[in-house]
Amino acid sequence: MFFSISGPGGRLLRALPLLAVFALGACTTTDVRTTAFTPLTVEDATIPESRLLDVGVVQFNPGLDTAEVDEEQLVFPELRQAESRYIAVTLAESLQSSQGWGAVRVIPSERTNIDVTVTGRIVQSDGETLTVDVTVTDSRGQRWFTKQYTEQASHYAYDRKHPTKGDAFQGIYNRVANDMLVYRQQLSDEYIAELRTISELRFAQNFSPDAFGRYLSKTEDGLYKLNALPAENDPMLQRVRRIRERDYLFVDTLQGYYGTFVKSMETPYQEWRAMSYEEVKQMRELKRKARNHTIMGAAAIIGGIAAAGAGAGSARAAGQVGIAGGGYLIKSGFDRRSEAKMHIEALQELGDSMQAEVEPRIVELEDRTVTLTGSVENQYRQWRELLKEIYEAETGGLEEQI
């Protein structure tokens, strides 16, 4: 509904629909959250060992390559780096709980040549909403699926008086695990056996391409094809298997690191999530009020200007009041934005302090102690180089005789 005032010459001056604008301030929204989430599907029968596939969950891409460090979306590099490991560990735990797989490990890179590899990228994570992109691929190179999963946390997930069990976004991990289980159940015994063999031979090729190159080839689609099998008593194969066991030992040791990492970050991380959850809601409300106050202020100023130009004393006085009131409403809107900025800065400080609480740990190996001070990816790369040295030392000139 437009309001009007008489101008010089009896003209009607039309202003903004103030009643409609002021009505915006009275609008409220109600968010309904539920604690229910997708349950985890658990294999209801004992799976034959021959159908078990090992799974490697690569620590997630933090999503900082495309996401700007944005106060609007609460993207903090320190937190995202920690979350990339936290999410991978939590997903691995869900996969293991489904009882549908062999060994499930969190791995620092895709170079492990494991039966099934899960990679992911964090799209959004602010305590209220978690969105991740997940891709599952097998050792043959066949992509099982790429899907985006998103979920909103229940307010009760952060209720200290009545805390809920499990992660605030447990439904996402369960859905990924369920989708993987459905896909695996459709695979034939022959295909699964081939995957396991390809995994072993790809690992062997990393150490001795000349000796094992002839057993595998790649199709035009980039898929690995099994050409032949080495003899079970092949000494080169036996050595590769021992090396692979050592690699598993190191990766299994890393599981302790990942577990300790997640345990140490759990309390401050959940505190951040709870605070962020509230901050996101408050900022959304603050921005709504700030936007409405700014719109109403602008409308009042326009109406005041029109009234001030009307010429009549009473109309001019009313116009001056309208201008003053509109200026106050606009200032109020900017003040609220400043308040939102203050909440963002508080989150940044909390993120920095949390990063300091999750420093790397020391991993004890059989014959040495490795201090994980840099990135796990770099340490694992060095470990693989060391394994290659061990393999070459053990084989000596044996490869030259083949």
pLDDT, one tens digit per residue, over 9-25 is: 444 334 444 434 334 44
pLDDT for res 339: 52
Rounded to an integer, the average pLDDT of 145-165 is: 81
DSSP-assigned states of every residue in 238-275: HHHHHHHHHHHHHHHHHHHHHHHHHHHHHHHHHHHHHH
- CA gap 156, 122 in Å, rounded: 23
Strands 143-152 and 129-138: antiparallel
- Is the model's pLDDT at 52 over the cut of 60? yes
- Is the model's pLDDT at 86 over the cut of 80? yes
Interacting residues of 91 by C-beta distance below 8 A, sequence separation 6+: 57, 118, 120, 173, 176, 177
φ, ψ of residue 134 to 5 degrees: the values are -130, 135
Any domain includes 111: yes
Q: Cβ-count burial of 107 within 10 angstroms (0-12 exposed, 13-18 middle, 19+ buried)?
A: buried
Any domain includes 299: no
User: What would you report as the CA-atom Rg of the chain, rounded to the nearest whole angstrom?
Assistant: 30
- Residue 34 or 335, more confident: 335
**Residue 104 near residue 45 (C-beta atoms within 8 A):** no
Any domain includes 207: yes
Tokens at 130, concatenated: 């978690």
Any domain includes 83: yes
Any domain includes 4: no
Rounded to an integer, the average pLDDT of 199-222 is: 91
- CA gap 63, 133 in Å, rounded: 10
Nearest to 98 by CA among 173, 167, 36: 173
- Confidence class for position 35, pLDDT limits 50, 70, 90: low
Please list the alpha-helical segments (H only) found in 36-141: 77-97
- Residue 54 or 32, more confident: 54
pLDDT for res 271: 75
φ, ψ of residue 109 to 5 degrees: the values are -155, 175
Range scoring the smallest mean pLDDT among 122-126, 157-161, 298-302:
298-302
Strands 224-226 and 216-218: antiparallel
Any domain includes 21: no
Please list the alpha-helical segments (H only) found in 98-186: 170-185
**Global pTM value:** 0.71
Q: What is the pLDDT of residues 292-345, one digit of tens each?
A: 545 555 555 455 555 445 555 555 555 454 545 555 555 555 554 565 455 445
Task: Say how many C-beta atoms besides its own lie within 10 A of residue 359's C-beta.
Answer: 10
Any domain includes 26: no
Q: What is the pLDDT of residues 373-394, one digit of tens each?
A: 666 677 777 777 778 877 877 7
Q: What domain range is 106 assigned to?
A: 49-278+361-401
Tokens at 167, concatenated: 């992660």
Any domain includes 227: yes
- Is the model's pLDDT at 174 over the cut of 50? yes
Residue type at 221 in one-letter notation:
D
- Quote the mean pLDDT of the chain: 74
pLDDT for res 285: 64
- Confidence class for position 78, pLDDT limits 50, 70, 90: confident
- Is the model's pLDDT at 89 over the cut of 80? yes
Q: What is the pLDDT of residues 99-109, one digit of tens each?
A: 999 999 999 88
